[in-house]
Amino acid sequence: MAAVRALLSGQFDANPEPEFARYLGHEHAYMVSSGKSALTILLESLHSLGQGRTVAIPAYTCYSVPAAIIRAGLEPVLIDVDPLTFQFEPASLAQAFGRPDLLAVVPTHLFGIPSDLSRLHAARSARRVYVIDDAAQALGVTSASGDRLGRACDAAIFSLGRGKHLNAGGGIIATSDPAIAERVAAAVNRLPAPTRERNWRSVLELAIVDLLVRPQVYWLPAGLPFLGIGETVYETDFSITGPSPVARATLTGWRERLERANGSRLEHTRYYMSELGAGVLGGRALPLLRFPFLLSSADERAAVLRESRRTGLGISAMYPTGIHRIPALRHRFQGQVFPGADRIAANMVTLPTHEYVTAADRRAVVTQLQGRHEASARASAPHSVAIS
């Protein structure tokens, strides 16, 4: 593996941050141990600068997002998501912005689908509310105006974790705001280095993920449950350290690697759009991390997932529930409903777009879905039960 060779020879770019900053269109970029570490550090920095202690996030997103908020000593507020567009529900968004204690809003560009920030900026009140892009799933994806996602905001976080656009281990904070940069730089400078044990674990994980991402061996994760790949866990005691030398070594030549990988993602996305419909993308093809497809019922989805497990095609569900149903958090959202998030969690499957997907694989994926009903705008939401 190229990264291990680079690491052993000592010939790697030990300082990829300036190039990340340039690429992302920001003044500053900081690398840390993971995307959730990046978000935690960033939120702590904002908390020391701004006012308020709640952070608004989509009700359907990665479990690491609320985990980072809790870890930073802040409180998550949820905004429902339209299951057909993955955009914030306007009424739910307005309600979050009505809170006097709102410190920041963190939209997720889920799969790389741009979260429409124009509406967000319009909703911003006179009081300062930070807009933080969660671009963990959007490295190298552009908005309709041609900006890279993660640019039009106060600061953004990216993940270099497994299953993301660039798998190296680590996370990135990017910002052009001098006050945020100063706080983040100070926090990053205080971080401990990762332990030797963690470094070796990173090497192992990288090698395993590199192997497992191929659909031909997709049966392996099911047989090796201790790897925890594909599992969604909520945990707040993750380690927050500086980036590992392994991650830095793995990033040698990252731009070419990212461009090649995103080229395949774009091509696979185009194919799914032409065969299955444009879905949430509204006609503009993007290098999506996975291609979302909303089925009309949970039963229909169960059937698709069963069939995909049998054939090893790599069609999968995403996060099992909305944030409001995570057992450790649900007491915070008593009496609130998030029907959009519930419907995504129950009915959505996602299709693989990575570079090891072959033309035959994706044809088989499409064949499996073509007879199915995609949910339409007219389909009614499933009965939503309030959290109690």
- Shortest separation between residue 161's beta carbon and ligand PLP, angstroms: 3
Among the listed ranges 56-64, 72-80, 141-149, 257-265, the one in contact with ligand PLP (CB under 6 A) is 56-64
DSSP classification of residue 330:
G
Q: Does 244 bind ligand PLP (CB under 6 A)?
A: no
Name which of 9, 379, 12 is nearest 168 in CA terms: 12
Count of residues that interact with ligand PLP, criterion CB under 6 A: 14
Interacting positions 183-242 with ligand PLP (CB under 6 A): none
Choosing from 21, 29, 35, 247, the residue that interacts with ligand PLP (CB under 6 A) is 35
Choosing from 64, 87, 115, 350, the residue that interacts with ligand PLP (CB under 6 A) is 64
Q: Does 65 bind ligand PLP (CB under 6 A)?
A: yes
DSSP string, 15-76: --HHHHHHHHT-SEEEEES-HHHHHHHHHHHHHHHSS-SEEEEESSS-THHHHHHHHTT-EE
For residues 207-219, b (16+ Cβ closer than 10 Å) or e, as one string? Answer: ebbbebbbbeebe
Distance CA 316, CA 202 (A): 25
DSSP string, 77-90: EEE-B-TTT-PBPH
- Shortest separation between residue 162's beta carbon and ligand PLP, angstroms: 8
Q: Which residue is nearest to ligand PLP (CB)?
A: 35
Q: Does 134 bind ligand PLP (CB under 6 A)?
A: yes
Interacting positions 265-324 with ligand PLP (CB under 6 A): none
CA-angle at 162, arms to 287 and 64, nearest 5°: 95
Nearer to ligand PLP, 64 or 175 (CB): 64
Choosing from 3, 6, 30, 36, the residue that interacts with ligand PLP (CB under 6 A) is 36
Q: Which helix (H) or strand (E) holds 254?
A: helix 254-276
Nearer to ligand PLP, 113 or 369 (CB): 113
Q: Is 79 within 8 Å of 56 (Cβ atoms)?
A: yes
- Shortest separation between residue 379's beta carbon and ligand PLP, angstroms: 26
Distance CA 221, CA 217 (A): 8
Q: Does 137 bind ligand PLP (CB under 6 A)?
A: yes
Q: Does 29 bind ligand PLP (CB under 6 A)?
A: no
CA 261, distance to chain mean position in Å, is: 17
Residue 131's contacts (CB-CB under 8 Å, 6 or more residues apart) are 104, 105, 107, 117, 120, 121, 124, 153, 154
Q: Does 115 bind ligand PLP (CB under 6 A)?
A: no
Q: Does 87 bind ligand PLP (CB under 6 A)?
A: no
Q: Does 159 bind ligand PLP (CB under 6 A)?
A: yes
Nearer to ligand PLP, 116 or 374 (CB): 116
Distance CA 249, CA 7 (A): 5
Among the listed ranges 12-20, 130-138, 258-266, 291-299, the one in contact with ligand PLP (CB under 6 A) is 130-138
Give the alpha-carbon dihedral of 223, 226, 232, 234, to 10 degrees: 160
DSSP classification of residue 310:
H
Nearer to ligand PLP, 207 or 359 (CB): 207
Q: 277 in the Ramachandran plot: left (φ > 0), alpha (ψ -120 to 50) or beta?
A: left
Here the tokens at position 381 are 């939401």
Q: Does 62 bind ligand PLP (CB under 6 A)?
A: yes
- Shortest separation between residue 158's beta carbon and ligand PLP, angstroms: 8
- Shortest separation between residue 112's beta carbon and ligand PLP, angstroms: 10
- Shortest separation between residue 173's beta carbon and ligand PLP, angstroms: 12
Nearer to ligand PLP, 8 or 233 (CB): 233
Query: Applying CB under 6 A, which residues contact ligand PLP?
Result: 34-36, 61-62, 64-65, 108, 134, 136-137, 159, 161, 171
